[in-house]
Structure 1
Amino acid sequence: MKVYSTSLKSLFAALFFLLNFNAFAQEEKTGSSAQELADKMANPVASLISVPLQNNLTYGIGPYNGSKYQINIQPVVPFKLSENLNLITRYILPVVDQQDVTGENTHEFGLSDATVTAFFAPKTKGIILGVGPAFLVPTATEKFLGTEKFGIGPSVLVMHQGKGLSIGFLANQIWSVAGNADRADFNQFYTQIFLTHSYKSGASLGITSEITQNWQGNTTLITVSPNVGAITKLGGQTMQFAVMPLIPIVGHSDIRPDWGLRAVVAFIFPQ
């Protein structure tokens, strides 16, 4: 359990630093620019290059009371297609270290499957829209960490954003279309509903709910996560830090953890 002890210490260290970043944010950035960046980070289709590292620690998984540490490497790269249309590409590459999840006294470590999403986002006022394809890419290095399937499906984002307030949802539905015929088909719906309020200092408070529906396995997992975040600068690098509990409210006993914690460190590259 050494890896989980180290991971837990890292997550609580992130929380400790987060509580002290407000003063640094005020020193390093003007209030308006810090809040503007916080609002852009709350917008999944903002024209902003960022590289979030999302750390997830969950305990009490399944019948063997398993534990999992997963870091999602999530770069966001926008492309300007025209004066009124952007293409926002989002990548999620998970690295997983888990124990007692697939069986008693088992351990798996490696890459899981990647998800790539491309949102075509027209420049609009009021309601922000994004639509495009989502891809499941079989990058897993361990049999139990991936599907061995290639998948594709639609993705959509709908949100409203004013200064200091962001509310909306994003969703995708992915079906497997190729891969190992001996493995189960992939058929999964995912949606994230979010509400975030930012402040002049670059701090933010919000709440997020994530819903994952596995149609093939007939399982549902719903989590709720109140969160706190802050924009700051370390040296010349602009960053956002956020921390939140992962509170499961619906889920089958085979997949639902007892509790979890998430800490996000995002490197921001304003254009």
Structure 2
Amino acid sequence: MNLHYRTIAVIVMALSFSICSAYAEGPSKADLAKAAQNPIANMISLPLQNNINTGIGPDNETQNILNIQPVYPFSLNDDWNVITRTILPVISQPGALTGDGRKNGLGDLNFTAFFSPAAAAAAFTWGIGPTFVLPTASDDALGSDKWSGGIAAVGLAMPGNWVVGSLVSNIWSIGGSGKNDVNLFTWQYFINYNLPNGWYLTSAPIYG
């Protein structure tokens, strides 16, 4: 189990670059592209993010994580929105020991509810709320076997062609059968530059 947590530490510090495209029609294409990059946009969406991490396990193999991230917002009242974001990882990774087969399946589900001002200022948007991790992993090697909860906050600005922001969270285990308690701080900043026709470049390293 300790080896598993050391592996996770390598994964969350990986720096990833990607080129993405937002598909839309008409003159609002650029605005929709920016909204797709905003984790607390008041818009229903189903982002899919695939991460490939190298140097994993005792034989320095490759791990693949496909994050399915449905976002569903709703209005709490005239002043506040609640933006719910769920992340369900589909994981394929090498075993913890040499000779072990690959582990394939679901990881732990992460649910976050951001409370965000309904009339957010154009220059800066923010949200804060509870975050929970459910032990949904299909294999012990793919999750913590712990129920966890904590707090998450995000803030971003969208000047010109840029979308720049930061997301922080901390979760603590509150139950479950896993041997190791969870106390995980995660920080991610993202810098996106929008190109014509809805395409954009993004850099979003995660530290934790």
SS at match of 1:136: strand
Note the residue ranges of structure 1 that are not aligned, 5 or more in a row: 1-13, 213-271
Give the letter aligned to residue 34 of structure 1: K
Computed over aligned residues only, the root mean square deviation of the Cα atoms, in angstroms, reads 2.1
Percent identity among equivalent residues? Answer: 36
Report what 2:163 is aligned to: 166
Give the letter aligned to residue 148 of structure 1: D
CA-CA distance at 1:42 after TM superposition: 1.6
Question: Normalising by the residue count of structure 2, what TM-score does the alignment of the two structures yield?
Answer: 0.83
Task: Tell me which of 43, 46, 52 is aligned to 1:51.
Answer: 46
Cα distance in 2 between the residues matched to 1:144 and 1:166: 35
Structure 1 residue 207 corresponds to structure 2 residue 206 = no
Report what 1:179 is aligned to: 176
SS at match of 2:141: helix
Residues 1:155 and 1:65: Cα distance change in structure 2 (over 3 Å): same
Cα distance in 2 between the residues matched to 1:35 and 1:165: 11
Report what 1:127 is aligned to: 124
SS at match of 1:118: strand
- Which has more strand, going by share of residues? 1
Residues 1:205 and 1:97: Cα distance change in structure 2 (over 3 Å): closer
Structure 1 residue 29 corresponds to structure 2 residue 25 = yes
Report what 1:38 is aligned to: 33
CA-CA distance at 1:141 after TM superposition: 1.1
Write out per-residue CA displacement over residues 129-178 of structure 1, whole angstroms, 9 at most, x where no aligned residue: 10000101100111111111000001001111234221110111000011
Cα distance in 1 between the residues matched to 2:162 and 2:59: 42
CA-CA distance at 1:102 after TM superposition: 0.8
Q: How many correspondences in the alignment? A: 188
Write out per-residue CA displacement over residues 88-110 of structure 1, whole angstroms, 9 at most, x where no aligned residue: 000011111222x4111222111
Cα distance in 1 between the residues matched to 2:112 and 2:69: 11
Question: Normalising by the residue count of structure 1, what TM-score does the alignment of the two structures yield?
Answer: 0.64
- Structure 1 contact 194–207 (Cα < 8 Å) conserved: yes
Larger Rg: 1
Give the letter aligned to residue 145 of structure 2: E
